[in-house]
């Protein structure tokens, strides 16, 4: 492997990991509050489309990002209504929303972007960190990324600090472990879970917008390709810990980047095998073959006050 190949691989792996990391950071907090957002992929796909459309109409990637996040928050709000208020099965709700998002964005894409599918959408440029971006090999790969990449790493720190050092984080952890005891202690379980789902929605929106206005500068049908499911898996793989979840997201990102590295090295490895590698790793993680950890006790369990 040459230095140029290594630099491209590191940069690609980091770029591909960012949508998963953004969505995973939000999902971590939501799951710690007891709500599994299986609809995360649908949130990301909706945000990717909304961000692409808004950026194309306004010629502003920042407007696209904001609209993408708002679209995902609306999605998350309805998820919270069904999962928290109406106490519907979280798994069924998630699958239903994912199907809805895929169908709706595909239809709208064909209706709106059909004749314009090759047009480039305005996107965020790369931001080079002075000094660090000039380090040989790793400098351009690590420190010459879009601003959202640096934001994604910052949000890992924010999520960790929220859970560990704030009263809201204490409430989240209490609700995720024993919502009835938390309620008796004066914690508003419903509000805490709503905020957890909305936090996941906001970060999933950023992850989806990253794909369309910070990475590819376009939108394609089903462009998330299961990134939301990988984010959920990363949370499980990381044992509901922010730093381990970060490591899992990077692992999935670099595993995906292998599909671009291996052909340049002229290795005789089937491309199909490389395409499925991240999902194979996810399967092993969910199946419990890669480490064991205890999930929040009340994860996916509905709470009825006084019931």
Q: Which tens digits make up the pLDDT trace of 164-184?
A: 999 999 999 999 999 999 999
- In this predicted structure, what is the pLDDT of residue 117? 59
Q: How many CB atoms lie within 10 A of CB 3?
A: 10
With bands split at pLDDT 50, 70 and 90, how would you rate the model's confidence at 115? low
202 touches 75 (CB < 8 A):
no
Q: Mean of the pLDDT values across residues 214-233?
A: 91
Beta bridge partners of 126: 146
Among 19-23, 163-167, 291-295, whose mean pLDDT is lowest? 291-295
Please determine, for residue 116, whether its predicted confidence score (pLDDT) is greater than 60: no
Q: How many CB atoms lie within 10 A of CB 120?
A: 9
Count of domains in the chain?
1
- In this predicted structure, what is the pLDDT of residue 168? 96
- Whether 168 is covered by a domain: the verdict is yes
Q: Mean of the pLDDT values across residues 236-257?
A: 92
With bands split at pLDDT 50, 70 and 90, how would you rate the model's confidence at 118? low
- Hunting for tokens 């090759």 — which residue is that? 118
Please determine, for residue 290, whether its predicted confidence score (pLDDT) is greater than 60: no
Please determine, for residue 307, whether its predicted confidence score (pLDDT) is greater than 60: no
181-213 pLDDT, tens digit per residue, is: 999 999 999 999 999 999 999 999 999 999 999
- In this predicted structure, what is the pLDDT of residue 193? 97
- In this predicted structure, what is the pLDDT of residue 274? 76
- Whether 303 is covered by a domain: the verdict is no
Among 29-43, 193-207, 247-261, 265-279, whose mean pLDDT is lowest? 265-279
Supply φ then ψ for residue 145, to 5 degrees: -120, 170
- Whether 306 is covered by a domain: the verdict is no
157 touches 279 (CB < 8 A):
no
With bands split at pLDDT 50, 70 and 90, how would you rate the model's confidence at 224? very high
CATH number at residue 146: 1.10.3470
Q: What is the Cβ-side half-sphere exposure of residue 216, based on CA atoms within 13 angstroms? A: 20
- Whether 272 is covered by a domain: the verdict is yes
- Whether 131 is covered by a domain: the verdict is no
The per-residue pLDDT of the chain, averaged, comes to 90
Residues 6 or more apart whose CB falls under 8 angstroms from that of 151 comprise: 206
- In this predicted structure, what is the pLDDT of residue 288? 65
- Helix H, strand E, coil C: the string for the chain is CCHHHHHHHHHHHHHHHHHHHHHHHHHHHHHHCCCCCCCHHHHHHHHHHHHHHHHHHHCCHHHHHHHHHHHHHHHHHHHHHHHHHCCCCHHHHHHHHHHHHHHHHHHHHHHHCHHHCCCCCCCCCEEECCCHHHCCCHHHHHCEEEHHHHHHHHHHHHHHHHHHHCHHHHHHHHHHHCHHHHHHCCCCHHHHHHHHHHHHHHHHHHHHHHHHHHHCCCCCCCCCCCHHHHHHHHHHHCCCCHHHHHHHHHHHHHHHHHHHHHHHCCCCCCHHHHHHHHHHHHHHHHCCCCCCCCCCCCCCCCCCCCC
197 touches 35 (CB < 8 A):
yes
Q: Mean of the pLDDT values across residues 233-243?
A: 93
Host domain of residue 113: 3-124+137-286
Q: How far apart are CA 37 and CA 10, in angstroms?
A: 30
- Whether 149 is covered by a domain: the verdict is yes
Q: At what angle do helices 227-237 and 271-286 cross, to 10 degrees?
A: 40
- Whether 294 is covered by a domain: the verdict is no
164 phi-psi bin (left φ>0, alpha ψ -120 to 50, beta other): alpha
- Whether 36 is covered by a domain: the verdict is yes
51-60 pLDDT, tens digit per residue, is: 999 999 999 9
- In this predicted structure, what is the pLDDT of residue 268? 72
77-110 pLDDT, tens digit per residue, is: 999 999 999 999 999 999 999 999 999 999 999 8
Handedness of CA 96, 219, 64, 249 (dihedral sign): positive
The proportion of the chain whose per-residue pLDDT surpasses 70, expressed as a percent, equals 96
- In this predicted structure, what is the pLDDT of residue 269? 74
Q: Mean of the pLDDT values across residues 146-155?
A: 95
């Amino acid at each position: 492997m040459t230095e140029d190949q290594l630099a491209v691989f590191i940069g690609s792996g980091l770029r591909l990991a960012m949508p998963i990391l953004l969505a995973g950071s939000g999902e971590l907090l939501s799951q710690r509050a007891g709500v599994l957002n299986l609809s995360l992929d649908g949130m990301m796909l909706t945000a990717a489309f909304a961000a692409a459309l808004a950026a194309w109409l306004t010629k502003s990637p920042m407007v696209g990002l904001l609209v993408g996040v708002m679209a995902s928050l609306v999605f998350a709000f309805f998820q919270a209504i069904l999962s928290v208020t109406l106490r519907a099965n979280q798994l069924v709700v998630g699958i239903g929303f994912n199907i809805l998002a895929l169908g709706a964005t595909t239809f709208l894409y064909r209706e709106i972007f059909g004749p314009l599918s090759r047009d480039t959408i305005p996107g965020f440029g790369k931001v080079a960190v002075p000094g660090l971006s000039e380090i040989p090999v790793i400098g351009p790969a690590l420190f010459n990324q879009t601003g959202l990449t640096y934001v994604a790493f910052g949000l890992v720190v924010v999520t960790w600090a929220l859970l560990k050092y704030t009263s809201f984080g204490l409430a989240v952890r209490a609700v995720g472990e024993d919502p009835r005891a938390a309620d008796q202690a004066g914690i508003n379980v419903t509000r805490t879970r709503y905020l957890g789902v909305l936090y996941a929605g906001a970060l999933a929106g950023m992850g989806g917008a990253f794909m369309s206005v910070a990475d590819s500068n376009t939108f394609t049908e089903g462009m998330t390709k299961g990134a939301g499911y990988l984010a959920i898996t990363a949370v499980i793989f990381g044992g509901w810990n922010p730093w381990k979840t970060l490591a899992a997201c990077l692992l999935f990102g670099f595993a995906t980047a292998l599909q671009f590295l291996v052909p340049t090295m002229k290795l005789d490895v089937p491309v199909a095998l490389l395409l499925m590698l991240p999902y194979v790793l996810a399967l092993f993680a969910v199946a419990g073959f890669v480490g064991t950890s205890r999930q929040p006790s009340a994860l996916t369990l509905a709470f009825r006050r006084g019931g």
